[in-house]
Amino acid sequence: MEFTRGAYAEHLLEEKRKFLKYERFIPMLDHYKIHHQIYEQSLFLSRIYTHKGKPSIPLGDLLIIARISLYPGSVLFATIDKNDFSTLLFDRVGIATFTRQVRDRVGLRDVIEVVQFLKFNKQKFQKYLNELPK
């Protein structure tokens, strides 16, 4: 959802969906048990981000990060949001660009979107969690 939310035109959405069909992507699981874990993890993440000078990270982004952090092993996360999904708790493993045309009051122009591919770094998380004041 994070990766596709900026695609307002149907052909852009289809292009991004086609990209996500690559067999290495795992859809997020959804069940009741994980909600409590996500809530608790979000609180830890909020404290870490605030302690590191980023107190205004949106709640939705905290919930996404919490969910990603709970997956065992490495999960690849694609996003165009480089501000809230920074390398504070993620390792950037790649970058891709997409070009699309948009119409504004001057006419058609090309817009380049930069997508970063991230992996949650559990060691960074644990390190920053241990640094929090008791």
- Give the pTM: 0.70
5 found inside a domain? no
83 found inside a domain? yes
Structural domain harbouring 46? 10-131
Distance, in Å, from the CA atom of 15 to the CA atom of 19, rounded to the nearest integer, reads 6
What pLDDT does residue 17 have? 73
Q: What is the pLDDT of residues 92-129, one digit of tens each?
A: 999 999 898 888 888 899 989 899 999 999 999 999 99
Q: Which two tokens stand for residue 64?
A: 């996404």
91 found inside a domain? yes
Within 10 Å of residue 12's Cβ, how many Cβ atoms?
15
What pLDDT does residue 105 have? 87
Ranges of the chain with pLDDT below 70: 1-13, 22-32
58 found inside a domain? yes
Task: Please give the tally of structural domains in the chain.
Answer: 1
100 found inside a domain? yes
20 found inside a domain? yes
What pLDDT does residue 118 have? 95
Candidates 113, 108, 118; CA nearest to 97 is 113
24 found inside a domain? yes
108-120 sheet: strands from edge to edge: 76-79, 108-120, 90-103
Distance, in Å, from the CA atom of 32 to the CA atom of 34, rounded to the nearest integer, reads 6
44 found inside a domain? yes
